[in-house]
A = this chain, B = another copy of it.
Amino acid sequence: MLTASVEVRVRYGETDKMGIVYHANYLTWFEIARIELLDSIGCPYKSLEENGFFLPVLSCQVTFRRPAHFDDLLRVVVVIDESSSVRIKADYEVFRDDELLATGKTTHAFVSGEGKVVRPPRSFLERAKQSS
C-alpha cells in the first residue's frame, strides 16, 4: 500500500456561481495527490513520461459529501493498493481539517506513447515495493 497527502488551497476560479467548488476540480486535486505519491517513491510522473510511460485515467468516481469553498485549505489523501498489477487503483479522500468533504477513486494503466497498455516500468514496481 502506497499513500501520500497534499495540501490544496481552493482557487477563486475553482468556484462556480453556486458559491462552492465546481465538482470537476476534485479530479484535478486527485491528480495532484497522485503526482505527489509518485514523487514520494522516487518515481516522478514527469520522468515516467520522459521514458515513454503514460498513466492515463481509465475511470474516475467522486462522491461529494460537503461543499468546499474559496480559500479553504484542503488535504487530499491518496492510497494506491495494487501497484503491482497492470491496473493501478487509487482511492482518495478530501478533508477540511477533520471534516471529510469527498471521496473518490481512479483507475489507470501504463500505456506506451502509441497508447498500448504495457506492464508498469520496472523502476516503478521496485520503488513501489520498497515503499509499501
Contacts and interface: CB of A to CB of B under 8 A. Distances in A.
A64 B109 CA distance: 12
Nearest to A32: B11
B35 A27 contact: no
Interface in A16-40: 16-20, 22-25, 27-28, 31-32, 35
A15 interface: yes
A46 B59 contact: no
A58 B54 contact: no
A45 interface: yes
Given A19-B17, A115-B67, A35 B59 contact: no
B64 A46 contact: no
- What is the oligomeric copy number? 4
B23 A17 contact: no
B67 A63 contact: no
A52 interface: no
A31 B58 contact: no
A126 to B, nearest CB: 22
Contact of A17 (B17, B27, B57, B115): B17
Contact of A13 (B28, B56, B67): B28
B12 A13 contact: no
B28 A11 contact: yes
